[in-house]
Structure 1
Amino acid sequence: MENNNYRNLVPSVGGSFSHGWSRIFGKQFLPLLLTVIIMGLLNGPSYGLKFDNDHWGPMFFLLPLALFGLAYAFLFLPVLEFGKDYIFVQAIRDEDVDLKTLFEGFKTKYLNIVLANLIVAALVILGLMLLVIPGIIVACRLAFVSYLVMDKDMEAMKAVEKSWQMTRGHGWKIFGMAILSFFIFFAGVIVFFVGAIVSLMWIHSAFASLYQSVLNESDDDNPIPILGVNEVV
Structure 2
Amino acid sequence: MESLKYFELRPSAGGSFSYGWRKMFEKSFLPLLVAVIIVGLLNGPGYGFRGEWNGDDINGFGLLLLPLALFALAYAFLFIPVIKYGKKKLFLNAMRDEEVDLKVMFEGFKTQYLNIILANLIVLALVTVGFFMLIIPGIIVACRLAFVPYLVMDKELDAMKAVEKSWQMTRGYGWTIFGMAILSFFIIIAGLIVCIVGVFFSSMWISAAFATLYASVDGEKEDENPIPILGVNEVEE
**Fold match (TM-score > 0.5):** yes
- C-alpha displacement of 1:219: 5.0
Structure-1 residue corresponding to 2:12: 12
The alignment partner of 2:197 has SS state of helix
Structure-1 residue corresponding to 2:124: 121
Retained in 2: the 8 A contact 1:90–1:97? yes
Retained in 2: the 8 A contact 1:79–1:103? yes
Superposed counterparts of 1:85-96, under 5 Å: 85-96=88-99
> Is residue 100 of structure 1 aligned with residue 103 of structure 2?
yes
- C-alpha displacement of 1:58: 3.4
Structure-2 residue corresponding to 1:137: 140
Q: Which whole-Å CA distance do the structure 2 matches of 1:188 and 1:6 have between them?
A: 33
Amino acid at match of 2:36: V
> Is residue 197 of structure 1 aligned with residue 183 of structure 2?
no
The alignment partner of 1:78 has SS state of helix
Change (3 A) 1:7 1:45: farther
1:206 to 209, 213, 216: 209
Structure-1 residue corresponding to 2:24: 24
Amino acid at match of 1:32: L
Q: Which whole-Å CA distance do the structure 2 matches of 1:60 and 1:37 have between them?
A: 34
Superposed counterparts of 1:1-233, under 5 Å: 10-47=10-47, 48-51=49-52, 56=57, 57-219=60-222
Amino acid at match of 1:44: G
**Runs ≥4 residues deviating over 2 A:** 5-10, 50-60
Change (3 A) 1:11 1:59: farther
Q: Which whole-Å CA distance do the structure 2 matches of 1:35 and 1:202 have between them?
A: 13
- C-alpha displacement of 1:63: 1.4
The worse-fitting range, judged by mean Cα deviation, of 45-54 and 131-140 is 45-54
- C-alpha displacement of 1:52: 6.7
Retained in 2: the 8 A contact 1:74–1:114? yes
Q: What are the Cα deviations for residues 85-130 of structure 1, in whole angstroms up to 9, with x where unaligned?
A: 0000001011121101110001111011111011101100111111
Change (3 A) 1:192 1:59: farther
Change (3 A) 1:20 1:9: farther
Aligned length: 216
- C-alpha displacement of 1:185: 0.5
Q: CA RMSD in A?
A: 2.0
Q: Which whole-Å CA distance do the structure 2 matches of 1:70 and 1:76 have between them?
A: 10
The alignment partner of 2:196 has SS state of helix
Larger gyration radius, structure 1 or structure 2: 2
- C-alpha displacement of 1:6: 9.9
- C-alpha displacement of 1:161: 0.2
The structure with more strand, counted as a fraction of residues: 2
- C-alpha displacement of 1:147: 0.1
Change (3 A) 1:94 1:113: same
Aligned identity (percent) is 66
Amino acid at match of 1:42: L
The alignment partner of 2:98 has SS state of coil
Change (3 A) 1:185 1:7: farther
| Ranges in structure 2 where 5+ consecutive residues have no aligned partner | 224-237
TM, length-normalised to structure 2: 0.86
